[in-house]
Amino acid sequence: MSGFREAVIDLGAVFANVAHLKSVIGTPHLMAVVKANAYGHGAVPVARTALAAGADWLGVADIDEALELRAAGIDAPLLAWLHDPDADFGAALARNVDLGVSSARQLRQITDAAAALSVVAGVQIKLETGLNRNGVHEPDWAEVFALAAEFERAGLLTVTGIFSHLSNASAADDAEAIERFERGLSLAAAAGLTPTLIHLASTAAALRVPAARYTMVRVGIGMYGLSPFDDQTPRDLGLTPAMTLRGRVAAVRRVAAGAGVSYDYLWRAPVDGFLALVPLGYADGVPRQASGTARVTVGAATHPIVGRIAMDQFVVSVGDEAVEVGDPVVLFGDPEAGVPGATEWAEAAGTINYEIVTRIGHRVPRTYLNPDPADTPPASTQPATPPAATPRAADRTAR
């Protein structure tokens, strides 16, 4: 089944990871973060699997990402939190997408869009608690809460959540952010807001900082079976990596000692031996920075990449091993299966495992293992129209 280039996504692993995280974290709600095409794994199949495994919210950065999920017939509660200054909030509200709000300006824009459509906007107010990215800055909290409460009383919106995001810089920094978040929650309550979704933790804090769990956590990396920690492997956390990046040997040649390999002859063969050509390169997300440092599994053994990783291909030194054209190559997958992990690649390239899986390119087809048949209806049975927006004054608190 091995393709020329392919990313095999084990949806059974995604399912098990979500179910495991839900049981160890134990919050009433769990948001599966499927932004950036589900960290390269495929937003729609991952979202369906996460929901089947017990996630009850989906999270994305952009409204466009949210609309893509709706267009695929996914009607679960969904939050988008990073907006263009001229974002089409109406398109999101018409498809019942909750919107993260980071300013009074956004709150007014969203309310205007809700009024124009005669729907109730679901908004979740994002508080700045230390990261200094988006989120309402503390001096503006009172103003934004008062405005939100006023719009809520007018039936234009419901504040379904209040949230923020941690830096993971240190335990002390996270504790300080939690304190600031608590001040925000008190002020929101004093303004008359009663959101049910209080969320601060992504995977790392969800696992290590119980005080940050509140009523919902937002899990990304853990759901994909990778560890956010330097000192714990996926297996230590009870997780299984979902993505295996693989290919097939495209050419084999024997070279004599002294032969140069790939651009700039960064590497010359120290002794006679075989080289295998693998048809993946930086166009496919294989980091060029890992030239000469990463390893891949060819057949049953793991060998070093030698010379520069190019746009479409790289070379592996296999020594005297009898490798043939067409032999399977695994760049990374589950280390428990004896292949390099995405985390090993991250170390080789000087980055984090998040970036390794997320950057796998468009040219690499995704193949899915273990889809839940009950959860992947044929296209004809999917709703032709997106879920209806909540009519004004309807009760949105049930979820």
Residues in the annotated binding site for substrate: 133, 311
Dihedral, CA atoms, 235, 236, 239, 242, nearest 10 degrees? -40
Rounded to 5 degrees, what angle do the CA atoms 396, 133, 201 make?
Answer: 55
263 among known catalytic residues: yes
- Nearest distance in Å: CB 8, ligand PLP: 21
In terms of CB distance, is 208 or 392 closer to ligand PLP? Answer: 208
- Nearest distance in Å: CB 141, ligand PLP: 18
In terms of CB distance, is 220 or 307 closer to ligand PLP? Answer: 220
In terms of CB distance, is 33 or 294 closer to ligand PLP? Answer: 33
Task: Report the alpha-carbon distance of residue 146 to residue 188 in Å, rounded.
Answer: 8
Q: What's phi and psi for 50, nearest 5 deg? A: -60, -40
By C-alpha distance, which of 219, 265, 222 is closest to 240? 222
- Nearest distance in Å: CB 220, ligand PLP: 2
Task: Characterize 140-151 residue by residue with b for buried, 16 or more Cβ atoms within 10 angstroms of its Cβ, and e for exposed.
Answer: bbeebbbbbbeb
In terms of CB distance, is 94 or 212 closer to ligand PLP? Answer: 212
Burial class (CB in 10 A: 0-12, 13-18, 19+), 65: buried
Where does the chain have alpha helices with state H? 11-25, 35-39, 43-52, 63-71, 89-94, 104-117, 141-153, 171-190, 203-208, 342-349, 353-358
Dig out the tokens for 144 from the structure.
């934004």
Task: Characterize 83-119 residue by residue with b for buried, 16 or more Cβ atoms within 10 angstroms of its Cβ, and e for exposed.
Answer: beeebebbbbbbbbbbbbbbbeebbebbbebbbebeb
Task: Report the alpha-carbon distance of residue 72 to residue 306 in Å, rounded.
Answer: 42
Collapsed DSSP state (helix, strand, coil) of residue 33: strand
Task: Report the alpha-carbon distance of residue 40 to residue 395 in Å, rounded.
Answer: 36
35 among known catalytic residues: yes
- Looking up tokens 């001040």 gives 183
Whether the CB-CB separation of 204 and 223 falls below 8 Å is answered with no
In terms of CB distance, is 203 or 291 closer to ligand PLP? Answer: 203
Whether the CB-CB separation of 249 and 269 falls below 8 Å is answered with no
Rounded to 5 degrees, what angle do the CA atoms 155, 160, 164 make?
Answer: 135
- Nearest distance in Å: CB 39, ligand PLP: 7
Query: Which parts are annotated binding residues?
Result: 133, 311
- Nearest distance in Å: CB 23, ligand PLP: 17
Rule CB under 6 A: which residues touch ligand PLP?
Answer: 33, 35, 165, 202-204, 218-222, 228
In terms of CB distance, is 25 or 330 closer to ligand PLP? Answer: 25
- Nearest distance in Å: CB 126, ligand PLP: 8
- Nearest distance in Å: CB 205, ligand PLP: 9
Question: What residues does 119 pair with on adjacent strands?
Answer: 391
In terms of CB distance, is 221 or 389 closer to ligand PLP? Answer: 221
Task: Report the alpha-carbon distance of residue 170 to residue 150 in Å, rounded.
Answer: 38
**What is the number of the residue whose Cβ is closest to ligand PLP?**
220
Residues with catalytic function? 35, 263
